[in-house]
Structure 1
Amino acid sequence: MHIGPESTLLNPSLNYAAQDTKTKSFEKIIEYPKMQMYIQESLNICVSNLDYSKTKLLLEKGANPNVTQKLQLYPLQYAAAKSDQQSLKIVSLLLKHHAWIDIQDEDLNTPLHWALVKKNVPLIIKLIRNGASLTKKNLYDITPFDLFLKEKDLLHMILEMENIDWNASTQSDFPLLLEVFYKSNLHLAKWLMKKGADIDYRYLDSPLIFHYLKNTPILDRKVILFFIQHANLFLLDSKGNTISNVASKYADAGICSLFYNLKK
């Protein structure tokens, strides 16, 4: 897997300086007016080389960690794609300078995708603690959580982490508990709920069970029964719909019958 930047635009002198020159000499070189336009591209080289001092210098000179050339990774992804311990320092530095933690490359991989591929445990922990999404899909519909499921030791590690917001979500990234229900993994659902994941959490103004009913092609009766056992089935969505209203639109008669005659 090639993870080093290949710049065709970078000034040759600055290219050499970014890779081989000492930091003080590099600082003098980038002060030249003609070199200012190239500091953005040299950032990727310095990050890929895990050169902390030069990376710090470029960021302080105004290099944007959220910009890259076409078909290249972003600086945070170059750092995450390394298995070296130095990558943790570089990632911390980039985050300090407002690098987007879930920035996506051409294949829609996030830094957490890359860190998981490299099995860089300290970096994985760092990204998760800073709010990296576990449910953001790449171009092939693979989420970081899918990668965790393939590595049981890593999965156990994150499930044991403390002070994690297991209900975290954005408009495009649903809560991890909902992802687990989509996968019909009730063992993991129970574990997440013990850690603080809320089965009654409202995502985009609707309870999780509403999303499960609407977005699951083949509903799993065991998951429905799990919701019936553990969730508050009297919650409404933002339009005032009840669970029975939603079930009647998206579920078969057998599933709908489970919600009839609900009593508080």
Structure 2
Amino acid sequence: MKSAWIDAHRGAHGLRRLCALLGVSASGYGAWQRGGQRQGLNDAQLTLLLQAIHAETGGAYGSPRMVRALRARGLSASKARVERLMRAHGLRGRHRRRYRVTTDSSHRLPVAENLLARDFRPSAPNQVWSADITYLWTDEGWLYLAVVLDLFNREVVGWSMRARMDAELVISALDMAHARRRPPPGLLHHSDRGSQYASHAFEQRLRRYAMRCSMSRRGNCWDNAPTESWFNSFKHERVFGERFPTREAMRATAFEYIEVFYNRKRLHSTLGYRSPVEFMQQWEARQRRDQTVA
């Protein structure tokens, strides 16, 4: 049982530290792991591991991602068995809610054409970024979150939170993304037609970074589906059903989700059930290998 818990948390805390904490020898853990991979876990062991993953992910995973998380640890269990044990022990992934349109495009600012045209699969990083804003309620009032995704590996490369939904909110998120990635000229930046993205200040920032501007059609959330999907995941995995007494509490939750969990750990179905960082690392390794061969 202790070894199963160690296996679920070794990535975050280190094998030696967990073994020392729980009084398990490294050789004993290794023997358990080899036996588990060869013979499979019994229901009690598997349940403990599922509970650990459930706690580690904040209840984000339903049975399909649980199965993938087990495989990533070198263990296997059928979806039916995982569903049975999760149901028996009250482990349920958080359910999604319906999308609500929040964009205000009733302005007279200039808008760009939809150059992206729902082509959400760029062939390399820093070719297409998508951006959007969402509303988050706290006891102190509204807080607004702007994110920038690289559609290649669905990583949040930039984000910003402010109590006001103004142009500075989206400019700050773009500045973070640019500072982190330093993309070459010509990157396509896609957003909705909100006044923040259509503002002169944001347009000037895009020109400074030599980025091309693309915008969704009026009232069509599916033109920016990956970013809408990201907000849906964040809200149903961390926000819905929780109370946030302060804006700072919401900021801390967003930081943990983006920088600790989502980018580095969350298994993404579009990426073959790999995290955005893992997907990028594997792509970069292939690029280096191909260059060496050439």
**Higher RCO by CA contacts (8 Å cutoff, separation 6 or greater):** 2
Q: TM-score, normalised by structure 1?
A: 0.28
More strand by share: 2
